[in-house]
């Protein structure tokens, strides 16, 4: 099957934008570099064809200026509960409430800042033969403690474009490896706790995923973040690991209930 010229041009433009954003991020002024690890476990449960729920448990580690060890300091623990509504095959609408325990890590310029976060999100999918292109829009209300031990409300908007391509199949299913590339821009309100910059950060992700089964998958990605800050810009290079379980407890219950009982010997 011949490739559609419009699809080829779209792919080239998307790749060019990602490369330009990365180069711009790296070249912007004096920066401090940190290496980090981000880990998350996701539990998804389908309610019906329109609704699903999700629970995320996350943790983050970071190197410091005195140590290159990626696990030198635990910087954050989090949990997040989602509700998803599938409006149609192209639109997925979501909302979440989350708690982030941002720990006191002065070695990387981070102070203890517990945070409650509420968000509204929409994802629009451009379903194409052989790959999926999507754009994600998210508005977050962050209720965070600042250095004066008072809480501030921060409004943040995030815009992401994401490319996903199965490698050894045309569709995502058990046994399929897929590639991921995305770029996301973060914009925020000016507050004491997050600084005066309207531009919060830019995040580039490159990686791959694998489906062990239709309901269990893993993603390993590299993330590059550029963060302009009042006391010095930062660049974060992070390795990310995400493990996802779909309908885990429901599937376990089915397996246990459908086990064939052993026949009694008489």
d(CA 92, CA 124): 7
Q: Which candidate, 224, 266, 181, places its Cα nearest to that of 24? A: 224
CA dist 216 to 17, 210, 232, 243, Å? 32, 9, 41, 8
Q: Which candidate, 235, 171, 179, places its Cα nearest to that of 202? A: 235
Residue 96 pLDDT level (bands cut at 50, 70, 90): very high
Give the pLDDT mean for 27-37: 76
97-122 pLDDT, tens digit each: 999 999 999 888 888 899 999 999 99
pLDDT at 207: 98
CA 141 remoteness from chain centre: 17
pLDDT at 28: 46
Model's pTM, two decimal places?
0.81
- How many secondary structure helices (H) and strands (E) does the chain include? 2, 11
Give the pLDDT mean for 58-80: 94
Q: Is 128 exposed, middle or buried (0-12, 13-18, 19+ CB in 10 A)?
A: middle
189-194 long-range contacts, CB within 8 A, separation 24+: 189/154, 189/155, 189/156, 191/146, 191/152, 191/153, 191/154, 192/146, 192/147, 192/148, 192/152, 193/113, 193/144, 193/145, 193/146, 193/147, 193/152, 193/154, 194/142, 194/144, 194/154
181-224 pLDDT, tens digit each: 999 999 999 887 777 788 999 999 999 999 999 899 999 999 99
Q: Which candidate, 83, 65, 81, places its Cα nearest to that of 73? A: 65
Provide the 8-state DSSP code for 149: S
Both tokens of residue 64? 């410091």
Residues facing residue 246 across a β-bridge: 44
Where does the chain have alpha helices with state H?
A: 5-26, 248-257
Domains for the chain: give ranges and CATH numbers. 31-258 (2.40.160.40)
d(CA 142, CA 187): 13
């Amino acid at each position: 099957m011949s490739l559609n010229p419009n699809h080829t041009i779209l792919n080239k433009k998307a790749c060019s934008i990602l490369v330009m954003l990365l180069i711009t991020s790296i070249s912007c002024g004096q920066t401090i570099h940190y290496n980090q690890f981000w880990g998350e476990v996701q539990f998804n449960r389908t309610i019906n064809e329109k609704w699903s729920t999700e629970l995320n448990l996350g943790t983050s580690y970071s190197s410091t200026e005195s140590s290159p060890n990626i696990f030198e300091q635990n910087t954050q623990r989090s949990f997040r509960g989602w509700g998803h509504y599938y409006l149609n095959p192209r639109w997925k609408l979501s909302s979440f409430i989350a708690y982030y325990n941002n720990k006191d890590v002065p070695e990387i310029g981070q102070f203890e800042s517990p945070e409650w976060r509420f968000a509204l999100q929409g994802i629009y999918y451009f379903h194409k033969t052989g790959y999926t292109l999507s754009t994600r829009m998210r508005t977050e209300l962050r209720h965070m403690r600042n250095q004066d031990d008072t809480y501030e409300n921060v409004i943040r908007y995030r815009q992401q474009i994401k490319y996903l391509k199965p490698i050894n199949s045309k569709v995502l299913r058990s046994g399929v490896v897929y590639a991921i590339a995305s770029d996301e821009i973060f914009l925020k309100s000016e507050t004491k706790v997050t600084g005066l910059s309207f531009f919060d950060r830019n995040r580039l992700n490159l990686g791959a995923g694998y489906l062990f089964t239709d309901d269990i998958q893993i993603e390993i990605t590299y993330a590059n973040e550029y963060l302009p800050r009042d006391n010095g810009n930062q660049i974060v290079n992070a390795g990310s690991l995400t493990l996802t379980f779909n309908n885990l407890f429901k599937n376990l219950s089915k397996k246990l209930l459908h086990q064939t009982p052993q026949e009694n010997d008489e």
